[in-house]
């Protein structure tokens, strides 16, 4: 039993939970007291962002509207395929855990190859993906600020693929997509919290993604969980996180040749 049972259907919860979790968790980051001692960039570097905050909020809300519509259609089609007497059975916990892992792998593959292609195709980068990179220094509630077509293809269709291939139910999807959103927001938080285990549980984390956003856009495409696709295809940029004089942290590339390509 889950806390919404008897009040909302699993499908309804699957539609609204990603939106609620996004704004609650991103909002949590923004109501925290100033955390300058944990920032990956200075306030001056953050000023390089060229997109106004109201525009970011409207862009995220548009993408979430599209995602909710696609989710509604997906659940409607799934329910239409079930016989009226059939009830969707929730699998055992080990099966759900396996579905989680499969969904994570599908999500990572979809994100890596789609994300990389958006960079390699000059037309798509200029007219679509560059919108996201107007946030040179990412922040929490700008995580899903993308061009609507990018959001539809990379995030929404990627989510549908991970759900269908893993075979998860609507109820399991509530937990998977809520977790995925939390992970994506963490990676765009612009903070490095040494005591926060979720940052260090997965190799893709705020420091890893910071390399991609802050100058190294040809590297570290992988998101939101693992980094093996970058390592397999030679787009992995190793790094170290060091204390910044005056407070905060700094992400430094370790590969000299790649670092020179970034700075050049």
Q: CA-to-CA distance for 229 and 181, rounded, in angstroms?
A: 21
Which burial class, exposed, middle or buried, applies to 105 when counting CB atoms under 10 A from its CB (0-12, 13-18, 19+)? middle
- For the chain, give the longest Cα–Cα distance: 66
Q: Can you give the residue range of the structural domain that contains 53? A: 10-261
Do the domain assignments include residue 4? no
Do the domain assignments include residue 86? yes
**Torsion sign, CA atoms 166, 172, 83, 158:** negative
For 164-220, the pLDDT digits (tens) are: 999 999 999 999 999 999 999 999 998 998 777 666 788 899 999 999 988 667 899
Do the domain assignments include residue 14? yes
pLDDT at 128 (0 to 100): 95
Q: What is the pTM assigned to this prediction?
A: 0.89
Do the domain assignments include residue 5? no
pLDDT at 48 (0 to 100): 84
Do the domain assignments include residue 159? yes
Do the domain assignments include residue 120? yes
> How many domains does one find in the chain?
1
pLDDT at 77 (0 to 100): 83
Q: How confident is the model at residue 99 (pLDDT cuts 50, 70, 90)?
A: very high
pLDDT at 80 (0 to 100): 75
For 232-241, the pLDDT digits (tens) are: 999 999 999 9
Do the domain assignments include residue 2? no
pLDDT at 44 (0 to 100): 85
pLDDT at 243 (0 to 100): 92
Tell me: pLDDT of 72 over 50: yes
Do the domain assignments include residue 94? yes
Q: Say which residues have a Cβ less than 8 Å from residue 228's Cβ, sequence separation at least 6.
A: 222
Tell me: pLDDT of 142 over 70: yes
**Other Cβ atoms closer than 10 A to 129:** 21
Q: Average the pLDDT over 7-26 and give the result.
A: 93
Q: Average the pLDDT over 224-244 and give the result.
A: 93
Q: Average the pLDDT over 5-25 and give the result.
A: 92
- Supply angle C-alpha 219, 225, 231, rounded to 5: 40
DSSP E strand boundaries for 4-131: none
Q: Which DSSP letter does residue 252 get?
A: E
């Amino acid at each position: 039993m889950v806390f919404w049972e008897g009040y909302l259907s699993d499908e309804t919860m699957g539609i609204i939970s990603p939106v609620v979790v996004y704004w609650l968790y991103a909002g949590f980051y923004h109501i925290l007291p100033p955390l300058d001692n944990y920032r990956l960039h200075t306030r001056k570097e953050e000023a390089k962002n060229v997109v106004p905050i109201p525009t970011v909020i409207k862009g995220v809300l548009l993408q979430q509207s599209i995602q909710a519509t696609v989710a509604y259609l997906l659940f409607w089609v799934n329910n239409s395929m079930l016989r009226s007497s059939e009830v969707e059975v929730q699998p055992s916990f080990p099966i759900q855990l396996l579905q989680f892992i499969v969904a994570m792998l599908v999500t990572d593959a979809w994100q890596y190859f789609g994300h990389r292609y958006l960079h390699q195709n000059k037309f798509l980068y200029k007219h679509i993906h560059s919108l996201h990179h107007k946030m040179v220094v990412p922040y929490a509630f700008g995580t899903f600020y993308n061009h609507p077509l990018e959001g539809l293809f990379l995030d929404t269709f990627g989510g549908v693929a991970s759900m269908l291939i893993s075979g998860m139910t609507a109820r399991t999807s509530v937990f998977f997509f809520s977790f995925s959103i939390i992970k994506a927001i963490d990676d765009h938080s612009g903070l490095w919290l040494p005591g926060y285990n979720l940052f260090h549980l997965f190799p893709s984390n705020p420091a890893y993604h910071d390399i991609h956003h802050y100058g190294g856009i040809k590297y570290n495409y992988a998101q939101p969980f693992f980094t093996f696709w970058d390592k397999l295809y030679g787009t992995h940029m190793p790094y170290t996180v060091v204390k910044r004089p005056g407070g905060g942290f700094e992400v430094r590339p370790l590969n000299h040749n790649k670092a020179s390509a970034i700075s050049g």
